[in-house]
Amino acid sequence: MSASALLTVLLLGGAVTASPVHADDERRVAAVDALLHEYTGDVPGVSVLVMHGGQPVLRRSHGLADLEAATPATPQTRYRLASVSKQFTAAAILRLAEEGLLRLDDPVRRWLPELPPATTAITLHHLLAHTSGLVDYEDLMDATVAGQVQDADVLALLAGADRLRFAPGTDYAYSNSGYVLLGLVAARASGQPFPDVLRSRLFAPLGMRGAVAWTVEAAPVTARAFGYSLRDGRWQRTDQSPTSATLGDGGIYASIDELALWLAALDGDTLLADSSRQAMFAAHTTTPTGEDDVDAYGYGWRLHGDMQWHSGETIGFRNVVLRFPRERLAVVVLSNRNAPAPYPLARAIAALWHGADSEVP
């Protein structure tokens, strides 16, 4: 049995619990629970995963996934990942490149000829690394838009904007527009809807059975967390916004147990070739980003020293994934609330395991 298959059995078969793997983890579990005090009780919840040495060594959930139904958050609760989804979109593009269905240096207009002449020099690489210069589709939306913007709507908005923020490859600007387009490119290159691309190339091979890029036409997300925001001292459901339906930039729902399978796969070549993983984590930006704790951007990952990470924020959800490959350490925090920001929490949790290399099996 492969390592990823074994981890699938352990996580989804129920053999893994929140019990510590090493004796010293009892202290760490207590420390994590103390850090999660804001999420305790009948409030929007949080799920926390720590991976060390390729295995989950902590899985904790506090609070509620659904306040109205009083449904507790668990390690199987699926949160909307928001921009944490971008690493999966990037991986899907890399898989399609491995299959020979597209090339990273393809002009985006090869796949999306609807785009205007100003985008002629933009390649898929530029989209992946946020160096395309595309305008933000959010800035092109009608302020009085009714309903939710779909991927096809984003393409139409960008098709009508024959201008760029800068020449492709000359600067960096974080771009949801670019990742929506990557989802559309993946669909056209594969001949499948983007949710099916993710399922067939990533989720199914890893055993991420319920992870999904959700659309309103699809079946309901099972074990779904709903998003909330604190307003006037009360938690109010704020699960969807006009931009909550786009896919490539932030539409995936997944649990910490499913993300454990994903993170374990990134340690080896069972899912992506070594060359693809190197490209994913290479520093592709050459100009300062102006973002905190970001030295450069790879494909779907921010890079900062020895850390690879990404946050995800959307109405009612705040998430972050940290990865420290030299220590074989990763931390995930998923929450269905607008505050607090999970990045400081994740760094504090990671600090409990830093320097624990001698304990890695």
pLDDT one-digit tens code per residue, 10-53: 454 333 334 434 557 789 999 999 999 999 999 999 999 999 99
**What pLDDT score was predicted for residue 16?**
36
Predicted pLDDT at 357 = 59
pLDDT at 23: 53
56 closest CA partner among 332, 336, 324: 332
Report DSSP state, residue 274.
H
C-alpha span between 270 and 333 (Å, rounded): 25
Of 194, 220, 214, 310, the closest CA to residue 259 belongs to 310
Residue 25 is predicted with a pLDDT of: 76
Task: Provide the 3-class DSSP secondary structure of residue 84.
Answer: helix
Which pLDDT belongs to residue 290?
77
> For residues 119 and 225, what is the distance between their CA atoms, to the nearest angstrom?
38
Long-range contacts of 149-154 (CB under 8 A, 24+ apart): 149/242, 149/243, 149/245, 149/246, 150/245, 150/246, 151/180, 151/183, 151/184, 151/194, 151/246, 151/247, 151/248, 152/184, 154/180, 154/181, 154/246
CA 204 to chain centre: 17
pLDDT score, position 287: 76
The single-letter code of the amino acid at 288 is: P
Burial class of 4 by CB neighbour count within 10 A (0 to 12, 13 to 18, 19+): buried
State which residues of the chain have pLDDT below 50. 1-6, 8-10, 12-21, 358-361
Q: How far is CA 99 from the centre of its chain?
A: 23
CB 128 within 8 A of CB 296: no
Q: Provide the strand spans (E) within 133-267.
A: 212-213, 228-231, 234-237, 252-254
pLDDT (0 to 100) of residue 147: 86
Say if CB 310 and CB 301 are below 8 A apart: yes
- For residue 13, what are the contacts with CB-CB under 8 A and spacing of at least 6? none
What pLDDT does 286 receive?
79
Tokens of 273: 């070739």
Q: What pTM was computed for the model?
A: 0.93
pLDDT of amino acid 145: 78
